[in-house]
Structure 1
Amino acid sequence: MKIYVDADACPVKDIIISEGTNEDIPVILVTSFSHYSNAEPQSGVETIYVDSGPEAADYRIMKLVEMGDIIVTQDYGLASLGLAKGCTVLHHKGFSYTQDNIDQLLQTRYLSAMARKSGKRTKGPKPFTLEDKENFRGAFKKAISH
């Protein structure tokens, strides 16, 4: 098992790295070159840099993941692909993407995009809270313990 993180805007990287490395599970952060860091790599953590294209991180993650791996992303499209490949997929707010909820999430995303294209304003995501962070920690610990 490995943990792949769509890392550009992930607010729970610290939890993933801490909990994942404590369980000796490799953590792979996939991020764009625009987030390049010279920081010393932490043991058990690999950073893969990709172009800044809109789907570059998603494509690289899908090329690397295998059945049974864990993906952390807020991207519904990547989540759908990860589920199809037999991965456990988590959102940083602490919920799991499942075969039962992914179609509804994709439909909502599509309808919001169509509304924006027609000039309507849509609400953005709610602010990330400490409760969200703790919900993620619980869901993540459960996922890595299986």
Structure 2
Amino acid sequence: MKIWVDADACPVVIKEILFRAAERTQTPLTLVANHALRTPPSKYIRSIQVMPGFDVADHEIVKRMEAGDLVITGDIPLASEVIDNDGEALNPRGERYTKENIKQRLNMRDFMDTLRSSGVETGGPSALSQRERKAFSDELDKLLSQKK
């Protein structure tokens, strides 16, 4: 199992949790972004910089991932592609995307997109809470222990 991170929008605190987990479990971790990233020196952690553009990082992750890999993303369409390719998808708030819930998430995303495009102010996501950080860490540990 490898871990792939849609790193452009991934919170720093989540990256730090991932860095520690990769070292602890000796799991390859790759951050993919359209800008240069700092990563700690490690034989398990690397980053890939892709060209700027809409969904370029997402496409790179889907191209490189294999069945059973874990992708960290808040991007619901990317999570759907990961699941379609037999991967695992986890968002930075600790919510796991599954075959059972991804269609509902896509529908809600599309509905909110329609509202925003019609001029309705929907607001952005709230700040990452301590509870969500713990939920992410717990779910990550659960996924990593299942794959051993």
TM-score category of the 2 structures, normalised to the smaller one? over 0.9
For residues 26 and 60 of structure 1, the distance between their equivalents in structure 2, rounded to whole angstroms, comes to: 16
* Kept in 2: contact 1:20–1:144 (CA 8 A): no
* Amino acid corresponding to residue 66 of structure 1 in structure 2: E
Determine if the alignment matches structure 1 residue 114 to structure 2 residue 114: yes
* Amino acid corresponding to residue 51 of structure 1 in structure 2: M
Determine if the alignment matches structure 1 residue 27 to structure 2 residue 46: no
Determine if the alignment matches structure 1 residue 124 to structure 2 residue 124: yes
* Kept in 2: contact 1:73–1:89 (CA 8 A): yes
1:136 shift after superposition: 0.3
Normalised to the residue count of structure 2, the TM-score between the two structures is 0.92
Matched with 1:13 is 15
Secondary structure of 2:89 counterpart: strand
1:22 shift after superposition: 1.1
1:117 shift after superposition: 1.2
Structure 2 unaligned regions, length at least 5 = none
- Distance verdict in 2 for CA 1:58–1:41, change over 3 Å: same
* Amino acid corresponding to residue 114 of structure 2 in structure 1: M
1:123 shift after superposition: 2.7
1:38 shift after superposition: 6.3
For residues 38 and 9 of structure 1, the distance between their equivalents in structure 2, rounded to whole angstroms, comes to: 14
Secondary structure of 2:4 counterpart: strand
> What are the Cα deviations for residues 93-141 of structure 1, in whole angstroms up to 9, with x where unaligned?
0010011111111111101111111111113212111111111000000
- Distance verdict in 2 for CA 1:63–1:129, change over 3 Å: same
Over 6 Å off, 4+ runs: none
- Distance verdict in 2 for CA 1:135–1:127, change over 3 Å: same
Determine if the alignment matches structure 1 residue 50 to structure 2 residue 50: yes
Identity %: 34
Secondary structure of 2:125 counterpart: coil
Secondary structure of 1:145 counterpart: helix
* Kept in 1: contact 2:22–2:45 (CA 8 A): no
1:17 shift after superposition: 1.3
Aligned residues between the structures: 144
